[in-house]
Amino acid sequence: MTAKHISECHERIKPYVHNTAVLTSRLIDKEVEANLFFKCENFQRAGAYKMRGATNAILQLTDQQKKNGVVTHSSGNFAQALSLAAQSVGVIAHIVMPNTAPEVKKVGVREYGGKIYECEPTVEARQALADAIAVSTGATFIHPSNDENVILGQGTAAIELLQEQPDLDFIFCPIGGGGLIAGSALAVKYFGNSCEVLGGEPFEADDAYRSLISGKIEGNKTVNTIADGLKTTLGDKNFPIIKELVSDIIRVKEEEIIAAMRLVWERMKIIIEPSSAVTVAAVIRQSKENSKILQNKNVGIIISGGNVDLAKLPF
């Protein structure tokens, strides 16, 4: 995946996605002693950055593949994104969702025309049902994160952030399946100016942290985290990129995620979901534990989404 590939992807999806706002907060800057720039993908179509990768993947299908439809599995944000992207070009979307997925995300899938199939909340159950649907319908399976077209699409958020703030020293991303941070790392490699990519991950689902240490893909020992979008594992297409280009992964506790989420809601007056708050929490933890690393630096933060079940707020 070259600079040309990611640039062409960015041009391809522009008619279908928003170039989202980059916001700042002097109060949060003061707290972490750095200059933070929040790329607000919570303002993206379907409420999350995943609209980018979903759109690019669908636009790359052949006419016959579009006729047969697409299928994926997702806890919510990619489910909504693929449903909306498919609807935009007249394609049927079959969506496998764990029965524990937030109701607000199920509602979004239905509103965007996706057909939901519920399963047990395990990676194995999700993949098995998606495979069965692909066989029975002829639909093309599109992985939420371990797909080159998806990875390239997700990286376009970082491209836009770098275009607006070319002198960033760091970009922080949340890590679930690895598509966003892999795409962002590629964007930084080709378009960044001595910028580093770091990840944020819950202690309760820290497979990427352990994978970076061991050098191989590790499974999750637990997924008992409020960050529902980060419960998936890395893939063989995105992990090599992460291993090569991501500098570090900062793990955070559940109470830190909730505190960061509340901080952004209160100080910036924007809605972010727990998975996005993981990244903010990682920046705050890094500023406290290794203050000199971020001090007075320009730090980009990808706010990955804002699809929150308001009936189940943690504060």
Determine the Cα–Cα distance for residues 135 and 141; give it in Å rounded to an integer: 10
Determine the Cα–Cα distance for residues 48 and 42; give it in Å rounded to an integer: 5
Determine the Cα–Cα distance for residues 86 and 166; give it in Å rounded to an integer: 33
The structure tokens 């971020």 sit at 294
Q: Is 304 a catalytic residue?
A: no
Burial code (b: 16+ CB inside 10 Å, e: under 16) for 255-281 equals: ebbbbbbebbbeebebbbbbbbbbbbb
| Residue 304 contacts residue 180 (beta carbons within 8 Å) | yes
Determine the Cα–Cα distance for residues 56 and 267; give it in Å rounded to an integer: 34
Q: Coil, helix or strand for 126? A: helix
| Beta-strand relationship, 196-202 and 246-252 | parallel
Catalytic residue among 39, 74, 75, 189: 75
Amino acid type, 282: A
Residue 187, both tokens: 């964007």
| Residue 134 contacts residue 71 (beta carbons within 8 Å) | yes
Q: DSSP labels for 230-243?
A: G-S---TTTHHHHH
Catalytic residue among 4, 7, 25, 50: 50
Q: Is 25 a catalytic residue?
A: no
Q: What contacts 158, CB < 8 A, 6 or more positions away?
A: 39, 171, 173, 183, 184, 187, 188, 300, 302
How far apart, in Å, do the first and last CA atoms of the chain sit? 42
Q: Which residues are catalytic?
A: 50, 75
